[in-house]
Amino acid sequence: MTTIFGKIITGELPAEKVFENERILAIKDLHPKAPVHLLIMPKKEIPNLQSVEEVDLPLIGEIITVAQSLASEYDIADGYRLIVNNGATAGQSVSHLHFHLIGGKNLGGMA
């Protein structure tokens, strides 16, 4: 696997894992933007949201289920954001699909 997240998935790089199964990995963001800032990603190398195919949709659904569980576990179930930055113009810096789960403070409105 080629990206930082790919290397975390294969164990070549370390990360603080908060959830893992055969298909999905969730880790703590290295530079958290809020008290809770987790990254949930498929182990399959999908570069971005725009390249998700119909065959991947069950995986995306499972990622949402994992996000719900982590939101409960981290006590933010009543207020969080689940964000995907798609493409460099939107701020995507790692070309391996990942969902930011952010909460634990008042997030205000969307900028």
Q: Is 98 a catalytic residue?
A: yes
* Closest CA relative to residue 19, chosen from 56, 72, 70: 70
Q: How far is the CB of 29 from ligand AMP (least distance, A)?
A: 5
Q: How far is the CB of 49 from ligand AMP (least distance, A)?
A: 10
* Closest CA relative to residue 46, chosen from 102, 100, 94: 94
Q: How far apart are CA 80 and CA 74, in angstroms?
A: 11
Q: Which of residues 3-32 bind ligand AMP (CB under 6 A)?
A: 4, 15, 27, 29-31
Q: Which of residues 31-70 bind ligand AMP (CB under 6 A)?
A: 31, 39
**Amino acid (one-letter) located at 13:** L
**Amino acid (one-letter) located at 96:** H
Catalytic residue, from 31, 37, 96, 98: name it: 98
Residues that bind ligand AMP (CB under 6 A): 4, 15, 27, 29-31, 39, 85, 91-94
